[in-house]
Amino acid sequence: MRLFGTARWWRRETPEVVGLARGYALWAEAYPPQAHNPVMAAEESVVVPLLRYGRGGCALDVGTGSGRNLGRLRAAGARRVIGIDLSPAMLAQRAAGSACACADACALPFAAATFDLVSSSLMAGDVRDIGVLVAELRRVLKPGGHLVYSDFHPTWMARRWRRTFRDATGRLCELPFHAHSIEEHLAALAAHGFEVAQIREPRASAVDAPVVAVFHAVRGR
């Protein structure tokens, strides 16, 4: 799973821009295993209840990072749970016994129509073309299967947040990020045969703008 670090606007500090592979390797050394900011908490409040759609079936968590969603999928009743992530360093932080593979979200190492539920938390911004990602997630879903994924909300992104984190030495680093509008997500889902069941836009506080967009869609037959 991919998250924005705490923005430190009051400090005149220029982050070091790093690529995804190096960035996640650096972040893994200091990455907390649980939700560690209000954005993550807002996202979890919507996503976790939707994981019940994997009950009794096979579930895949894409961009699992340290495996935060794997235990939740098992607790929701999934019979088999697998996580994939592009970063070996992030996967090394997962709980012992979790089934995971190092793989690209846009080139998954699974046969078509394998999973009853595919989930993905806040990693869509790692992908330039959201349509390519949605197409691959659809490929591995069974007909009638559920897709539950989230992205940072475009209105929140308009505040010019940057994707920053501090590594184990305290250095401020910045990861690349591709912002996607709600319309882009909906167009990609429609183009690849999904029926949107719901869109949720949770806020980090009652006075804040939406910080996350959560999409729940069902693959057509």
Question: Where do the DSSP E strands lie in the chain?
Answer: 16-17, 58-62, 80-85, 100-102, 115-120, 141-152, 164-166, 172-174, 194-200, 212-219
Q: Which CATH class is domain 16-219?
A: alpha beta
Nearest one of 13, 15, 69 to 40, comparing CA atoms: 69
Is residue 1 scored above 60 in pLDDT?
A: no
CA dist 93 and 115 (Å) reads: 24
Report the pLDDT value the prediction gives residue 90, as an integer from 0 to 100: 93
Is residue 30 scored above 90 in pLDDT?
A: no
Is residue 2 scored above 90 in pLDDT?
A: no
Is residue 3 scored above 70 in pLDDT?
A: no
Cβ neighbours, 10 Å, residue 26: 21
Cβ neighbours, 10 Å, residue 193: 15
CA dist 27 and 47 (Å) reads: 23
Give the global pTM.
0.90
What is the tens place of the pLDDT at every residue in 49-100?
A: 999 999 999 999 999 998 989 999 999 999 999 999 999 999 998 877 789 9
Sign of CA dihedral 54, 58, 64, 66: positive
CA dist 180 and 125 (Å) reads: 7
Report the pLDDT value the prediction gives residue 47, as an integer from 0 to 100: 97
